[in-house]
Amino acid sequence: MEKASIPLIDIFFHVLFGIVDKDKSGFLTAEELLECFKIIGIPSDIFKAKQMVACYDLDRSGSLQVDEFVTFMTQTYGKIRVAGRGRLKDESGAYWEIPQEGILKTTFVAAFQPPSIHELGSDDGVNGLLQAINDAPNATEKQRILELATNSCGIYFSADQTYKLMKACYGVFGKIDFLVKLLPHVFQPSDCSQIVDHALDINEKIVLLLKMGYLWRCVMGYTTGFYSLDLKDASHRLISKKVAERANAEKTFSRNASGRGDTSQHGNWENYRNGVLNQTLPLGKELTANWFAESMPLYGHMRFDYVSTTLPPKGMRPISDIRWAKFLAHINLTNVITLNQKGDMDDFLMLYGQKSFETIAEVEWRRLKESRLKKITPIEERAGMHMDPKLLIGTNPPSRRATHVAKASISESEVFDDSRTNSDVIVLNSTSPRRKTVFFGPDTEEFGGFLDTKALKTIQSGKELLSIPDADSAGNSSEASMASLALHPFFAPPGSRLSLAAQAAAAQDLGPTDLWRLCYFKLLQLQCSLCQVGLSVSQLVHLLQKFPRDDLFWVNIIVTFFNHVVDSENFHKVFDELTEAEYIEVTHRIGFLNLFNPVYPDRFYELNLAMKDHREVVAILGRLAMIEPGENLANQSYRRSYDIVPIPGWILPRPWAEDPENKTGKGLRDYGIIKMEYQSEGPGLEPNWQERKLLKTRVLCGSNRIY
């Protein structure tokens, strides 16, 4: 692999660090940082220098290491403007040239956008506000003036202006209540992080996070995560607006400047995933940032995952190993978490109360519990059995409903009682010499479904009623696509498709355990302390190993720190540490194309073709399989849905790999489930590194980092 070159601006800041670090300690104090600013002509003072050090000073040592200094300087003073930003593009993607004649009619939609520099309050205006607050006769009047300024005028404040307002309102609000009110009106996330790091200790930060809820992610700039919003709640509508602001900005960058392909779930460049309205209505392509501005109802419940596609800036480096070890020791996270470490959480809850903590912990626990209970298993796995391919006769009938009869004798049968349906399940043993157990269903649309007692007696009388539906036949793809979309637990209605064991587990709804609550408290400590800190994949894996993996808790950690990972091209190392259930849930919530790197494709895949991003992964793997020598695809299977057995002996058709958009009608379809394993090690197998590098431009880690 190519060795990355060091940007010239990084070299400059390294040299500057060496000049100022006269005692060669490897650290810069706030006084030395101020000297750096003077050398390069940046106006500052010791107060601002201390604030900037606080953003990285995790162990409260009052200093910066060289990598932290370079990261801070390149992010703050080494930004590059994006050429062509703001120009319109036509349908082909080319920049639109304004015609010299004709009449132009256009409709403007006021889409939510992040604040521009023109919305930043002027110093004169803020000084006037400060004067009004200072002249107010009492605390009630001061509070009313601040609320008018923040709720009505749409003005944003810099970090310095916020500090001045905080000082003027001392005694009117507590620090935390003041920040809850003002942080949504601070100009940019780095300012918010700087203010919070300077004003609050770690426990106060957790209280602030719990009071702000999902809004914390939005103001800190890390919007990736799960959202559950009550649309009649004004604060939740503000959260939806903040997420939509980030979504529009990221969509614009992704389409115009990222240099990569579309990694969205539905092929619309949007970063919303798995949207559900009022518990039952899945939202697909219609869930966009503009939907929140134009079509969002006034009442109801909305839930979705959002995945920020803003990667860490080019100059950002992971926290140093020394600083990382000190920080983990500071929060008592040097070993795997056990209940013996419960003291910190108990002290926090006793001091600050536990209601808001219990509420948000319960929401996150139920989100993961839902994924565990509603895992949809194939019909043969559901019965604990396997299909015998010899029983499937004629696997290519002319139509979707065409069937073929497979003769079988019943040597033993078992009826599964299931109160959720009007039918029963029957298990048949085949006449095959290998005596494999098979699982049949009476109808092509509900294969693997249920037979009532009357049907059971009919079969026992010798009549051939068993039919095998064709998973590879043509049909109504949109109908099949919607059925396939509902397969994932996030879309399944409450109580549906649960096994009897899962129903029993659901009945014992005891809530999160003490250990899970402790793990979540530790996660909040990490989240509050690492706002502007980068992590390497190795450090993320190291962090995962500090937590028990009960109840898919590792998924929460990965989602929380996804946007902190500076070397996302190495995310396959995280995959290597996950169980199958964790792997499926992580890729579902973040998206394959936001995690996948075609340079390292070797692993197992389970792909739902109803999802546009899953079809793109199939296209990438199919392309590699055609280019690279040998039989790269192994253990392949395809089924039209989880309730239909796989086609025996199926392999990925070449037209599916060549025509992923299905323009010919013979290409990759938009329903069904593919399982396959890609391998490039072994006799006759050889990676094509050039092709893999080209395919990397179709996934998130192949983005241009020009910011």
Structural domains of the chain, ranges and CATH numbers in brackets: 8-77 (1.10.238.10), 117-306 (no CATH), 315-374+487-577 (no CATH)
**Which pLDDT value is given to residue 4?**
47
pLDDT of residue 536 exceeding 50, the answer is: yes
**CA–CA distance, 581 with 627 (Å, rounded to integer):** 31
CA separation for the pair 51, 196 (Å, rounded): 10
Residue 472 pLDDT > 70: no
Least confident of 4-18, 369-383, 400-414: 400-414
Measured CA to CA, the distance from residue 603 to residue 624 in angstroms comes to: 14
| pLDDT tens per residue across span 415-443 | 323 333 333 333 333 333 332 223 333 33
65 by Cβ neighbours in 10 Å (0-12 / 13-18 / 19+) ranks as: buried
Mean pLDDT highest for which of 416-425, 463-472, 510-519? 510-519
- How far apart CA 455 and CA 48 sit, in angstroms, is 80
Q: Write down the mean pLDDT value for the chain.
A: 76
> Mean of the pLDDT values across residues 77-103?
64
Could you please report the per-residue DSSP string of 553-600? Answer: HHHHHHHHTGGGBS-GGGTHHHHTT--HHHHHHHHHHH-HHHH--TTS
* Lowest mean pLDDT across 3-7, 482-486, 556-560: 482-486
Over range 331-349, report the average pLDDT: 86
Q: pTM above 0.85? A: no
- CA distance linking residue 605 with residue 373, whole number of Å: 21
Kindly indicate the confidence band of residue 12, based on its pLDDT and cuts at 50, 70 and 90.
Answer: confident
- pLDDT tens, 135-174? 888 888 888 888 887 776 678 898 888 988 888 888 788 8
Whole-number pLDDT of residue 108 = 61
Per-residue pLDDT band at 339 (split at 50, 70, 90): confident
Other Cβ atoms within 10 Å of 590 Cβ, number? 21
Q: What is the pLDDT of residue 696?
A: 94
- Tens of pLDDT, residue by residue over 367-376, are 777 765 554 4
**For position 575, what pLDDT does the model report?**
93
| Residue 49, token pair as written in the block | 């220098």
Of residues 70 and 307, more confidently modeled: 307
Report the pLDDT averaged over residues 452-465.
Answer: 40
Name the residue with higher pLDDT: 293 or 315. 293
What is the percent of the chain with per-residue pLDDT over 90, rounded to a whole number? 30
CA pair distance 160, 333, nearest whole angstrom: 34
pLDDT value at 664 more than 90:
no
pLDDT (tens digit, 9 = 90+) per residue, 13-72? 777 888 888 778 888 888 888 888 887 777 777 777 777 776 666 556 677 777 777 777
Does the pLDDT at position 497 exceed 70? no
pLDDT bucket at 659, cuts 50 / 70 / 90: confident
Candidates 248, 227, 247; CA nearest to 237 is: 227
Q: Angle, to 10 degrees, between the axis of helix 514-529 and the axis of helix 553-560? A: 10
Query: In degrees, to the nearest 5, what angle opens at C-alpha 613 toward C-alphas 610 and 618?
Result: 85
pLDDT at residue 394 greater than cutoff 60: no
What φ, ψ does residue 281 adopt, rounded to 5°?
Answer: -100, 105
Q: Which of 652, 591, 577 is nearest to 621 (CA)?
A: 652
Confidence of residue 679 (pLDDT cuts 50, 70, 90): very high
Range list of β-strands (E), 102-224:
none
Mean pLDDT: which of 141-145, 315-319, 366-370, 634-638 is highest?
Answer: 634-638
- Residue 455 confidence (pLDDT): 39
In percent, the amount of the chain with pLDDT more than 70 equals 73
Determine the Cα–Cα distance for residues 69 and 52; give it in Å rounded to an integer: 10
* Residue 459 token pair: 């079969």
pLDDT value, residue 112: 84
Residue 662 has what pLDDT? 86
Residue 58 has a pLDDT of 58
CA dihedral 248, 252, 258, 264 (to 10 degrees): 50
What's the average model confidence in pLDDT over 314-322? 85
Are the C-beta atoms of residues 662 and 644 closer than 8 Å to each other?
no
Cβ–Cβ < 8 Å for 172, 191: no
Structure tokens at 383: 């019965």
Pick the more confident residue, 18 or 599. 599
Q: List the beta strands (DSSP E) in 625-683.
A: 633-639, 673-678
Mean local confidence (pLDDT), 338-342? 85
Tell me how crowded residue 238 is: count the other CB atoms within 10 A of its CB.
Answer: 14
Tokens of 529: 């302390």
pLDDT(494) > 90: no
**What average pLDDT does the segment 248-256 reach?**
90
Q: What is the C-alpha separation between 408 and 415, in angstroms, rounded?
A: 17
Query: Does residue 331 surpass a pLDDT of 50?
Result: yes
